[in-house]
Chain A
Amino acid sequence: MIPAAFEYLRPRSLEEAVACLLQREPGTAAILAGGMSLIPAMKLRLARPATLVDIVRLRGLAGIVRSAEHLRIGALTTHAALGGAPELARYPVFAETAGVVADPQIRHRGTLGGSLAYAHPAADWPAVFLALQGEAQLFGPQGRRSVPAEDFFTGIFETTIGAGEILTEIRFPSVRERSGAAYSRMCLQASGMALVGVAAQIMLDAEGRIDHASIGVTGVNAVPFRARSLEMRLRGVLPAAAALRDLCATGIPEAEPLSDPHAAADYRLQMLRIHAERALGRAFERARAAVPGLGYSAPVTRDGEPVVRP
């Protein structure tokens, strides 16, 4: 299969890349990063951009920078790089997620920014982007702007990235004490995409109760979403296994599950509950492990049940 003919441009700077996009008719030019989604779509002629603007060699768009306030990941950082980065040792959710994206060859080429910008409804990274409360940094004709994860996805394969804009970096708040995050998914074997994927981040208070939870869900609705109601109900909860199970089972009203040949809506909903519970459970374990000397073991019995205090 051979893509339809196109014009190939390799600008030398972000400014030049933006100019390339603006000089073409709106909607006819596409950004090429790793190309792991775009090139297969072009081979099937599902996508027929008249122009490809290859940004993969632009300097400064790949790499991981940690500061006191932020974790900054360049849009062109590959899945493979995220899977083995020493800078991400305190963020195990990145290696966990990178390790399930597609396969090793694709992880060598595919990028975090490309995955988010492509906005496939069953991609893995959107869940993590939402749960870790990331912000997309965009560069365009009006300069730079920052878009919170929750405002980023607008539809199936649609984002808030405007004409002439390029996603350059994904920024996350730095990891806080007593916090942990995890990603759990059900994989659709044929495609390697998520049938349901849930990323959860938990921050504990000094007593080991949930101070704040944020949960990102992919593969369920047409657009990835935050499970806000569940987050609210988790506040103040001692995250024992049974408590998490009950809370996840009472439903996630934001879910409007898709029904397709892979899974009926009610099955997706059931899997969503299970993977929410697993992601929360692992996030909790990591939050707890991140607190040496907290002595946080008393509130949970060996069976994971909460200890009732008189």
Chain B
Amino acid sequence: MKISLHVNSRPVEAEVEPRLLLVHFLRERLRLTGTHIGCDTSQCGACTVHLDGCAVKSCTLLAVQADGCEVITIEGLAPEGTLHPLQAAFQEHHALQCGFCTPGIVMVAHGLLGRDSAPGEAEIRAALEGNRCRCTGYQNIVDAIRCACERVREGT
């Protein structure tokens, strides 16, 4: 089946098998390997991308379901060679160890930032309910998201 969609603001057209998952389409066809496959059972959130502005788990979506939609992956957050304030804050706050879960967590945080410019700790933790980090625990992740929200709010 032929699909056409926008990925990170670029138009993409492709012929895909209906059973191709969105995450495989992104990683294997478009070579956007920043989106990770963790559990592959829609638990861990490592595969989170934005579909028409909503954070979704791309391992639980067919590529054909994204036909006509706008997909944003971790690669689309900031221009090549630069960091989005969220990514910079994750680095500064040591909000990752192995980094496997990080793209998904950053995408969820980016969605939260779009809805709420000053989320409290409870809102941040609630937004992360669909993401698992098996290295560090969540405290530094929460701190990083808070810091990034503050910076974006203040325009620095």
Chain A positions within 8 Å of B, measured between CB atoms, are: 1-8, 10, 32, 35-36, 39-40, 42-44, 52, 54, 56, 80, 102-106, 108-109
Beta-carbon contact of B57 and A106 below 8 Å: yes
Contacts A/B (CB < 8 Å), 24 sampled: A2-B19, A5-B17, A5-B18, A5-B19, A6-B18, A10-B64, A35-B62, A39-B60, A40-B42, A42-B19, A43-B41, A43-B60, A52-B18, A54-B65, A80-B54, A103-B45, A104-B108, A104-B127, A105-B48, A105-B56, A105-B108, A108-B56, A109-B54, A109-B56
Count residues of chain B with CB under 8 A from any CB of chain A. 28
* Chain B contact residues, majority secondary structure: mixed
Beta-carbon contact of B18 and A104 below 8 Å: no
User: In the complex, how many angstroms separate the beta carbon of B86 from the nearest chain A beta carbon?
Assistant: 16
User: Which single residue of chain B is at the shortest CB-CB distance from A104?
Assistant: B130
A39 to B41, CA, bound (A): 9
Residues on A with beta carbons closer than 8 Å to the beta carbon of B55: 104-105, 108
User: In the complex, how many angstroms separate the beta carbon of B28 from the nearest chain A beta carbon?
Assistant: 11
Known interface pairs A7-B18, A105-B130, A106-B42; A36-B1 also in contact (CB < 8 Å) = no
Beta-carbon contact of A56 and B65 below 8 Å: yes
Asked if B61 is at the interface (CB within 8 A of a chain A CB), the reply is yes
Asked if B21 is at the interface (CB within 8 A of a chain A CB), the reply is yes
User: Which single residue of chain A is at the shortest CB-CB distance from B24?
Assistant: A2
Beta-carbon contact of B61 and A40 below 8 Å: no
User: Which single residue of chain B is at the shortest CB-CB distance from A57?
Assistant: B68
User: In the complex, how many angstroms separate the beta carbon of A77 from the nearest chain B beta carbon?
Assistant: 14
Task: Specify which of B41, B42, B54, B131 is in contact with A108 (CB 8 Å cutoff).
Answer: B54
A215 to B21, CA, bound (A): 40
User: Which single residue of chain A is at the shortest CB-CB distance from B58?
Assistant: A105
Residues on B with beta carbons closer than 8 Å to the beta carbon of A44: 41
A3 to B126, CA, bound (A): 31
User: Which single residue of chain B is at the shortest CB-CB distance from A38?
Assistant: B60
Residues on A with beta carbons closer than 8 Å to the beta carbon of B61: 35, 39, 109
User: Which single residue of chain B is at the shortest CB-CB distance from A39?
Assistant: B60
User: In the complex, how many angstroms separate the beta carbon of A270 from the nearest chain B beta carbon?
Assistant: 27
A255 to B18, CA, bound (A): 42
A172 to B126, CA, bound (A): 29
